[in-house]
Amino acid sequence: MSQTEGQSTNPTSNGNVNNRNESNGVVYPSFASHRLRLNPSVDHKSDNYEDLQLDFSPLLFSSLERYLPPAFLNSSRDQKVNYMREILLRYFPEGERTRVQKHREYRQKIISNYQPLHRELYTMHAANFFVPSFLKAISENTEESYRNIMSEPSPGVLTFEMLQPRFCEMMLAEVENFERWVRETKFRIMRPNTMNKFGAVLDDFGLETMLEKLMEDFIRPISRVFFNDVGGSTLDSHHGFVVEYGMDRDVDLGFHVDDSEVTLNVCLGKQFSGGELFFRGVRCEKHVNTETQPEEIFDYSHAAGRAVLHRGRHRHGARATTSGQRINLLLWCRSSVFRELRKYQKDLSSWCAECQREKKERQRQAVAATKLELLKREGETAT
């Protein structure tokens, strides 16, 4: 493509990686000059890397390949791998790579041993999973179509009917089946997060592909409309899990924010009382512990099949499930673009209620100071 010609000589493109190597006094061998192009060769057909034992995902190599300098596009697969690996290593520290590799092995071990109960859950069958009203809104994909099926009982908290009862039952049975397998084989599983001692990571036993599709085709379109200010249109990874509450499970969940840009929380059942979600306003990292304003207090009672969608930074918790058992499916959706840009953003956040209050207060003070200055001048000219 001609549009990419000359891009590689642009000093503002990807050249900064070279400078960085000299700044900390570390001398890199000559391949530190390896770099990618700003724009991909869209017509180029990438190699397949899936049969290689690599420390990065084979898909990453396939998608990165189109950004190689033109001279490299037709070189051998080994040469291309070495070139791209060298670039990736600069951005991905060894500790992190080891952790990812270990987790990949952990997942592989589960998936090759666990026998799923309902295989139909493992690929997206939208017509079988979702209620018709939800599917209709998604296919129209407009703010109006979403507003038609949603209520927003508190600003930034959307609730809507989403899952068919049959899907909920199958998913509950699948989770139970998985947990039975865990007990019988004494497999040591990782729990969904630091706060839940019960529950399971759905991505770890084969549901990753289905949940990725759920995020891409269903949650991202909605988030583009309602949560664009926190990267809603660029959601590109997820963490999917179930949490279990009840007498012999986790009882409640303390006040917290999620490690997500947008969180989907759907109740799968079963019979329970209590377990309400309580919301207390959206806050940035700096303001996470600031006071709640009266208008930010909102409590929500779960109903099976019904979804709640909110910003991850919306502070919330779960009250005690006082009887029965409650199981919820959670999908934490993240945007790497949003997270990267946040690092450089020093000013107030448009989505943080406390930042907005600070901003208004500064404006109020500025106006007051100007008024005072004007009065003073008037006073001076009068005398």
Q: Which residues bind Zn ion (CB under 5 A)?
A: 284, 287, 352, 354-355
Task: Spell out the residues 6+ positions from residue 371 whose beta carbon is closer than 8 angstroms to its own.
Answer: none
Minimum CB distance to Zn ion smaller for 213 or for 286: 286
Write down the least CB distance from residue 264 to Zn ion, Å.
24
Minimum CB distance to Zn ion smaller for 170 or for 352: 352
Minimum CB distance to Zn ion smaller for 222 or for 352: 352
Write down the least CB distance from residue 334 to Zn ion, Å.
19
Inter-residue contact 116 to 202 (CB < 8 Å): no
Beta strands in the chain (DSSP E): 151-154, 157-161, 200-201, 237-246, 253-256, 262-269, 272-274, 277-282, 297-300, 306-311, 314-318, 321-334
Q: Taking Cα atoms as reference points, which of 131, 154, 177, 158 lies closest to residue 265? A: 158
Write down the least CB distance from residue 349 to Zn ion, Å.
5
Write down the least CB distance from residue 228 to Zn ion, Å.
18
Structure tokens at 115: 């026998």
Q: Which amino acid is at 205?
A: F
Minimum CB distance to Zn ion smaller for 160 or for 227: 227
Write down the least CB distance from residue 355 to Zn ion, Å.
3
Write down the least CB distance from residue 354 to Zn ion, Å.
5
Write down the least CB distance from residue 48 to Zn ion, Å.
45
Residues 121 and 210: their CA atoms lie apart, in Å, by 8
Write down the least CB distance from residue 256 to Zn ion, Å.
17
Q: Taking Cα atoms as reference points, which of 53, 108, 107 lies closest to residue 85? A: 53
Inter-residue contact 131 to 161 (CB < 8 Å): yes
Minimum CB distance to Zn ion smaller for 238 or for 287: 287
Minimum CB distance to Zn ion smaller for 80 or for 313: 313
Residues 316 and 298: their CA atoms lie apart, in Å, by 9
Residues 137 and 74: their CA atoms lie apart, in Å, by 45
Inter-residue contact 293 to 353 (CB < 8 Å): yes
**224 SS3 class:** helix
Minimum CB distance to Zn ion smaller for 277 or for 352: 352
Residues 218 and 262: their CA atoms lie apart, in Å, by 12
Structure tokens at 94: 């060894």
Angle between helices 77-91 and 16-23 (to 10 degrees): 60
Minimum CB distance to Zn ion smaller for 203 or for 354: 354
